[in-house]
Amino acid sequence: MYIIVGLGNPEEKYLKTFHNMGYIAAGDVAAKLGVKFKKKECEAFVAEANLNGEKLIIARPVTYMNNSGRAVKQLLAKYKTPTENLIVIYDDYDLPKGKVRIRPSGSAGTHNGMRSVIAETGTQNFTRIRIGIRDEEINIPLINYVLSEVRKEDYELFISACTRAADAAIAIAKGQPVELVMTDYNG
């Protein structure tokens, strides 16, 4: 069983912000698998799917970005899932806008949500799918940038990136090796 977690902030005012790329991609995963976020548990909105005869949990934490790890830790415990079967999707300022990068493990970089996930789970050994959000044309403090709305002219680029991230997460959850998925989706 896999757990796919899309990081973001739960309020509607954050819906179209850069920091909600993970939420959007998790929604894409659910839509592609024909399921909806129907329940709230473990401090997250949760959708359940069946993928190749295995249960798949798709989650959007309601803890706000900086405390995302609390929800992830609770989900892993409730579903008795090893961190090796955790996939976290999130925005990444360290990547150019619209780029998707998949890694089987690694540090949190500049991302507070990932710092929380690593601190709560006690490991860096889980798959992460990062959606690049850095725009060289915008020069505002990082905290203001990640909470700002995606510009209309970039909307399609980010929708495409979230769709690619969702497809990559589904491929991994279906059992494709992360290295192969990296080859197919990084870029």
Q: Among 12, 131, 118, 17, which Cα is nearest to 62's?
A: 12
**Is 111 labeled as catalytic in the residue annotation?**
no
Q: Among 92, 91, 100, 96, which Cα is nearest to 187's?
A: 100
The per-residue pLDDT for 110 is 83
The per-residue pLDDT for 9 is 96
Q: Compute φ and ψ for 98, nearest 5 degrees.
A: 85, -10
Which residues lie across from 4 on neighbouring strands?
Answer: 58, 87
47-62: b (≥16 Cβ within 10 Å) or e: bbbebeeeebbbbbbb
Strand ordering across the sheet containing 39-41: 39-41, 44-51, 54-61, 2-6, 86-96, 127-134, 100-103
Beta strands in the chain (DSSP E): 2-6, 39-41, 44-51, 54-61, 86-96, 100-103, 127-134
- Give Dmax over CA atoms of the chain in angstroms: 47
With 0-12 / 13-18 / 19 or more C-beta atoms within 10 angstroms meaning exposed / middle / buried, residue 39 is: exposed
CB 35 within 8 A of CB 48: yes
Q: Model's pTM, two decimal places?
A: 0.96
DSSP state at residue 20: G
What's the CA gap between 101 and 57, in Å, rounded?
Answer: 22
Which of these is catalytic: 14, 19, 25, 181?
19
The per-residue pLDDT for 137 is 81
Q: What is the pLDDT tens value at each position of the chain, 187 positions in all?
A: 999 999 999 999 999 999 999 999 999 999 999 999 999 999 999 999 999 899 999 999 999 999 999 999 999 999 999 999 999 999 999 999 999 999 999 998 889 999 999 999 999 999 999 999 998 888 888 888 889 899 999 999 999 999 999 999 999 999 999 999 999 999 6
The per-residue pLDDT for 126 is 98
CA 109 to chain centre: 15
Q: CB-side exposure of 149: number of CA atoms within 13 Å?
A: 8
Domains of the chain by range and CATH?
Answer: 2-185 (3.40.50.1470)
Identify the helix (H) or strand (E) that includes residue 26.
helix 21-32
